[in-house]
Structure 1
Amino acid sequence: MTNWTLAARAHKMNPSVIREILKVTEKPGIISFAGGLPSPKTFPVDAMLEATQRVLTQDGRSALQYAASEGYGPLRDWVAHDLKKQGMDVHADQVLITTGSQQGLDLVAKILIDAGSRILVETPTYLGALQAFTPMEPDVVSVDSDDSGVLADDLRAKAGQGAARARFIYLLPNFQNPTGRTMTEARRAAVAAAALATGVPVIEDNPYGDLWFDTAPPPSLSSRNPEGSVYLGSFSKILAPGLRLGYLVAPHALYPKLLQAKQAADLHTPSFNQRLVAEVLKDGFIERHVPTIRALYKQQCEAMLAALDREMAGLDFQFNRPAGGMFLWARLPEGVDAVGLLPKAVDRGVAFVPGAAFYADHGDPRTLRLSFVTASVDQINHGIAALAQAIRDYRT
């Protein structure tokens, strides 16, 4: 009989609450506001098909071969140039192509976290980041946050000093997952100043920044202190998540260790996928394509907000009004627990994600996340009505 002995870090790994909930949404007839999935309507299938033909015809053997761990040169060049709109002055040799931005979080965790070291996160924060960080056994400290993002004074208070100084603070300034909030320009200035004053590096995750509805968000946090920041980006939300293509930008002092961690993880991100995306992007396609995503998501967000205004009247159901992205954040009436509500909602044909899983500690059981991007307007209207009825059922 073989006895497997798991590493201590393996016991720290937990299944994704969202992935488990998605299994429920596969039942016929369920309207899902649960997943963080981009709308398949936005996937540029025709452009991908044409680019695939060109890549295979022009340089197919190279596209199907092993490649440099840093990533495909023309794609790294594109990223460096594109980040100018974030106010960043980036060179291609700072860009590391990753297998989704989730891998970027994993690489950061591997090279920056020791067991017991302090890291700072927003309240609440992205569940996938907590999954990436937790196996490294950090002391995860939540920084108080409001509708404008983390509070700079609390960052200073929790930064620590000397050997106990936080290894980094992890932030999603634009249309944050899960809350949909965006950090204001004034708050970015205050947070960047606090991070610089305390010596705490910033890990800036920006998968949703291009998905604004009417006004682009302020310049990136990384533009304020490039030597003290790692910036993570993704092609999943603006092209297709199935490509698993993301990138990180790091200062030269940190880049070699991130590259070594990348080499140990998977040698390189699939070279064919990189060449395919570079081919799609090279003629300004993204400037034509992303506005169509914004228009669709804005319409769906407005439909959900209108439905919530209508259906939740009198229920003390609180929710925010995001200016972009894929999610909005809500708080249930007093005495209603989101985990307890979920089965009742599913019985009525609608699903959501309970919010407590997004907190590093002391999760608020009354919170929940709603995604508006994969449901039609008709489904949104029916789903929000069903959710309101489930809340009434719970209270009776």
Structure 2
Amino acid sequence: MTSSLVATPALAQRLRGVASSPVRDLLALLDRPEVVSFAGGLPAPELFDLEGIRAAFAAVLSTPAGRRHLQYAPTEGNRDLRTQVARRMTGRGLPTGPDDLLVTTGSQQALTLLATALLDPGAVVAVEDPTYLAALQCFQLAGARVVPVRSDDDGIDPDALADVLARERPTLLYLVPTFANPTGRTLPLERRAAVAELAARHGTWVVEDDPYGELRYRGAHVPALAAQPGAEDRVVHLGSFSKVAAPGLRLGWLRAPAELLRALTVAKQAADLHTSTIDQAAAAHHLATVDLDAHVRRLCAAYAERRDAMVAALPTALPAGSTWSDPDGGMFVWARLPGAVDTADLLRTALGHDVAFVPGAPFFAGTPDRATLRLSFTTNSPARVTEGMARLGRALRT
């Protein structure tokens, strides 16, 4: 007989201080169709290439090799898929071969593998402030000490970074330099060169997280941070199919120097053996048989209209004295309200008006600016964006 006085076993210490993501919590609102949600950074499901992806799965299961696509597979990933990804990356100005890549279960797993391979408890990680919330969770779970680096409208400040690198000696610098989450900012080319030079001088690993880079609606392409001189043995580049194909596939990849790539492969073997064989095979077939560039152009055209609708509505939706970003691509607008307000409190009022956003505070590694909020424009049509912003304006006026 079990005594009711027996204590429940404690959770691991590493989970202490790792908060639940408000973004994931707000996704439950998707079950309430009356809510216009600007919370999740979600691609628009009506723009998924459902027929093409369905055909790809049917094709790879209909060949004599169909059963092999249901079998265990190499940890490094499907060779055809890595070849296709390497070709796209090379075409975008980052010379890459299939042996430079490791396929991951979404780019979030790439962050976990890097934390496993590079971060001992107490290691220092430098991040632009604010930054991607799930990256902060990952580094906190690894027991790292996360140090914020000042940023401005052009992204991370190289002078502030130089100071942090000299003072804190971080093992790793994490950046989303193109259409950043949550701010939508893009790091200019001259700053990318400065970051690469600083990292090489201080012997610091740099993680360039690039899930949004192909979603450009305005302006010229900026070469990857990993393509900068001196970045060859220092920068790990992360990519994903989530924003240009479908997030439900959970397919990402990382590009890393050979020695680190071997360590990351061992870490992945210990984590999950390999990413889904059938999903990789279908993605490889899809890339080989469809015009993904044309699909991305359709996404960009649709998302640009949604961004324009949001930006046009901001002056009347937000109170006088507010500021906001006007991103050239990606999924997010970052706004700041005037005065000493806490957008977490305002969210409750907004939900009463059937509109949702993400309060900005959880994106900060340093002292949070509680007057900030993140708005995602990609999930809703232009008309629904306009309606949602009108609701937000009414909520804020109350």
Whether TM-score is above 0.5 comes out as yes
Mapped pair 1:349 → 2:354 = yes
Q: Contact 1:156/1:195 (CA < 8 Å) preserved in 2?
A: no
1:42 partner letter: L
Instruction: Work out which of the residue numbers 318, 321, 333 in structure 1 matches 2:323.
Output: 318
Q: How does 1:245-256 map to 2 (within 5 A)?
A: 245-256=251-262
* Residue of structure 2 in register with 1:65 after alignment: 71
- What residue is the counterpart of 1:299 in the other structure? 305
Q: Does 1:119 align with 2:125?
A: yes
Distance 1:133 1:216 in 2: 33
SS of structure 2 residue aligned to 1:254: helix
Between the aligned partners of 2:219 and 2:377, the Cα distance in structure 1 is: 19
1:321-377 per-position Cα deviation (integer Å, ceiling 9, x unaligned): 000011110001213210110011111111000000001121100000000011122
2 CA distance for matches of 1:356 and 1:97? 32
Letter in 2 for 1:104: A
Deviating more after overlay: 96-105 vs 26-35 = 26-35
Which secondary structure does the structure 2 equivalent of 1:345 belong to? helix
Task: Tell me by how many angstroms 1:216 deviates.
Answer: 4.3
Q: Return the offset for 1:227.
A: 0.7
- Where does residue 280 of structure 1 map in the other structure? 286
Instruction: Give deviations 1:18-39, integer Å, cap 9, x for gaps.
Output: 1112224533411100011111
1:56/1:63 contact within 8 Å kept: yes
Count of residues paired in the alignment: 390
Structure 1 counterpart of 2:232, from 194, 219, 226: 226
Query: How far did 1:94 drift?
Result: 1.6
- What is the aligned counterpart of 1:185 among 161, 182, 189? 189
CA distance in 2, matches of 1:98, 1:385: 40
Equivalent runs, 1:330-349 vs 2, <5 Å: 330-349=335-354
1:132 aligns with 2:135: no
Matches of 1:266 and 1:239, distance apart in 2: 23
Aligned-residue RMSD, C-alpha:
1.4
State yes or no: 1:270 paired with 2:276.
yes
Report deviation, 1:5. 3.0
Task: Tell me the secondary structure at the aligned position of residue 258 of structure 2.
Answer: coil
Secondary structure of residue in 2 paired with 1:67? coil
Q: 8 Å contact 1:155–1:195 — kept in the other structure?
A: no
1:106 is the counterpart of 2:109: no
1:173 to 2:174 alignment = no
1:12, 1:137 within 8 Å by CA — same for their partners in 2? no
CA–CA distance in structure 2, aligned partners of residues 311 and 6 of structure 1: 44
Give, as a single letter, the amino acid of the residue that structure 1 aligns with 2:291: F
Whole-Å Cα distance in 1 between the matches of residues 53 and 330 of structure 2? 23
2:27 pairs with 1:27: no
Residue pair 2:29, 2:37 contacting (<8 A) in 1 also: no
**Structure 2 unaligned regions, length at least 5:** none
> Which of these residues, 162, 187, 200, is aligned with residue 204 of structure 2?
200
CA contact (8 A) 2:122 2:145 kept: yes
TM-score, normalised via structure 1 length:
0.95
Amino acid at match of 1:54: A
In the alignment, the residues of structure 2 paired with residue 223 and residue 87 of structure 1 have an alpha-carbon distance, to the nearest angstrom, of: 7
Q: What 5-or-longer segments of structure 1 have no aligned partner?
A: none
The corresponding residue for 2:12 is 7
Q: Post-superposition shift, 1:380?
A: 1.3
Rounded to whole Å, the distance in 2 between the matches of 1:382 and 1:77 is 44
Secondary structure at the counterpart of residue 338 of structure 2: coil
Q: Quote the offset at 1:386 in angstroms.
A: 1.5
What residue number does 1:376 align with?
Answer: 381
Q: CA offsets per residue over residues 263-299 of structure 1, 9 Å max, x none?
A: 1111000010001010010135211210000000000
Cα distance in structure 2, aligned partners of 1:82 and 1:50: 22
- Map of 2:46 onto structure 1: 41
TM-score (norm 2): 0.95
- Residues in 1 aligned to 2:315 and 2:185: alpha-carbon distance in whole angstroms: 19
Measured against aligned partners, the alpha-carbon deviations of 1:4-53 in whole angstroms (never above 9, x if no partner) come to: 23221122432111111222453341110001111102210010121112
Relative distance call for 1:85 and 1:219 in structure 2 (3 A) is farther
Q: Any idea what the Cα deviations from partners look like across 1:178-199, whole Å, max 9, x if unmatched?
A: 1111111121112222222222
**Per-residue CA shift, 1:199-223, capped at 9, x if unaligned?**
2121000000000013343111111
Secondary structure, counterpart of 1:282 in structure 2: helix
Name the stretch that deviates more: 1-10 or 145-154: 1-10
SS at match of 1:230: strand
1: CA distance, partners of 2:19 / 2:99 = 35
